[in-house]
Amino acid sequence: MKKIFLLLALLASSIFAVEGKEMVVYKSPYCGCCTKWIDLMKKEGFNVKTVMLNNVNEIKSKVGLTSKTSSCHTAIVDGYFVEGHVDYSAVKKMLNEKPDILGITVPGMPIGSPGMEQGDVKEAYNILYVNKDGTTGIYEKH
């Protein structure tokens, strides 16, 4: 019985890990796909604060992103960056596991990624993690 209670408590904590969690998203005022991604994160339970910037590259550089790891918008949540059209599954996984990384990114803007939907068209893409030394690896494949 004790094991079942512990399992249920663990499951509940992972399900509600993002509920009401604050996320700050830096974006250009002219980017509509960013707004779609923000709406998806709100739907998943994040309390999103949007900051409009004419030059989003300053925040990208500040958090450790490069031209090879950048996309259109940069979110900050629990001290991590979430760059571009990252799936909710990867954000949730990162917040639950708390890896020793700077953040996760989907470089570029792949068709079919969250906020970049184009009907049934979906390009294969990887969500990368960025280590503190700038090296990257695959966090999730989509």
pLDDT at 2: 55
- What's residue 11's pLDDT? 47
The token duo for 106 is: 């989907």
Per-residue pLDDT tens over the stretch 27-60: 998 887 788 999 999 999 999 999 999 999 999 9
pLDDT above 90 as % of the chain: 68
Sheet with 103-106, strands from edge to edge, namely 47-52, 22-27, 74-77, 80-84, 103-106, 126-130, 136-141
Nearest to 140 by CA among 114, 112, 104, 116: 104
Number of Cα atoms under 13 Å in the Cβ half of residue 85: 24
Structure tokens at 71: 């996309």
Within a 10 A sphere around the Cβ of 62, how many other Cβ atoms?
12
User: Does pLDDT of 3 surpass 90?
Assistant: no
Is the confidence at residue 96, as pLDDT, over 50?
Answer: yes
Residue of 139, 109, 88, 85 lying closest to 74 (CA atoms): 85
